[in-house]
A and B are shown apart, each in its own frame.
Chain A
Amino acid sequence: GQNIDQPTEMTATEGAIVQINCTYQTSGFNGLFWYQQHAGEAPTFLSYNVLDGLEEKGRFSSFLSRSKGYSYLLLKELQMKDSASYLCAALDSNYQLIWGAGTKLIIKP
C-alpha cells in the first residue's frame, strides 16, 4: 500500500532550528511536496523535490533521498508565526498526491 509517515507533533524554541522528517512508500514517485497549514486555513505550498538533494529557499530547506524514501523539511531561525502543521505529500505514478497526517509544530518563546 501507499503510506506517508511523519511525526505527529514537535516542539521547538523561537530562533532555533527544527527538522521535520517524512518517509514515504508509494506506487511510483513523481516528487514530494511540503505544505504549511495554519489552524483553520487551507495548506500553502512550501517546497517541491523530485531529485535527490537539498533545496534551499530562505529560512526553509527541503531534502530528498529517493533511494531511502525519505525527506525532511528544515526550518531555521524559527519565528512564532511558524507555528503550524506541516504536511508531507508524495506524488505517485498516477500523479495523485498521497498525504501524510501532518506534523504540528509548536514554537515556544
Chain B
Amino acid sequence: GAVVSQHPSRVICKSGTSVKIECRSLDFQATTMFWYRQFPKQSLMLMATSNEGSKATYEQGVEKDKFLINHASLTLSTLTVTSAHPEDSSFYICSVAGGDRNEQFFGPGTRLTVL
C-alpha cells in the first residue's frame, strides 16, 4: 500500500496563530488526498477532498477560508488552519486512496492543541 507521512506530528500554538500541516505520499502519486478531523472518542470526520492542481472540495459545515488546502503536486497536500482557536484542537489525519478498491492509506496524524 501507499506510504503517507504527515508533518508535524504534534503542534501546540497560541490562539489566533495559523498552523500548516503537510501530508506527503511517499511512494504513490496521489491526484486526490483526503483531510479528516477526529475529536476524542469520535469517528473520523471528512473535512475536504484535496485535488491536485485544482480547488479542494469541502464538506458541509467546514469553512474553506479557515481551513486552507493546497495540493500543489502529486505527492504533497497542505492544510493550513488559519487563526486557530481552542475548539480547533483535534487530531488531523490525511489519507490517499488507491487501488481498484479505493482503499485509503492514512498518514500518522497531527495532534493540534490550541491554547
| Residues in A lying within 8 Å of B, measured CB to CB | 30-31, 33, 40-45, 48, 50, 87, 91, 95-97, 99-102, 104
Contact = CB atoms under 8 A, between A and B. Distances in A.
A45 B101 contact: no
Given A43-B44, A87-B44, A101-B42, A48 B107 contact: no
Given A31-B101, A48-B101, A50-B101, A42 B106 contact: yes
Interface in B92-108: 93, 97, 101-108
A62 to B, nearest CB: 13
Interface residues of B, number: 20
B61 interface: no
Interface in B58-115: 91, 93, 97, 101-109, 111
A55 B96 CA distance: 24
A37 to B, nearest CB: 9
Given A42-B107, A42-B108, A102 B101 contact: no
B43 interface: yes
B82 to A, nearest CB: 24
Contact of A41 (B101, B105, B108): B108
Contact of A45 (B1, B43, B91, B109): B1
Contacts, number: 43
A30 B99 CA distance: 13
Contacts of A95: 97, 102
Contacts of A42: 93, 106-109
A40 B109 CA distance: 8
B46 A40 contact: no
A44 B106 contact: yes
B51 to A, nearest CB: 14
Nearest to A30: B102
A91 B105 CA distance: 14
B103 A45 contact: yes
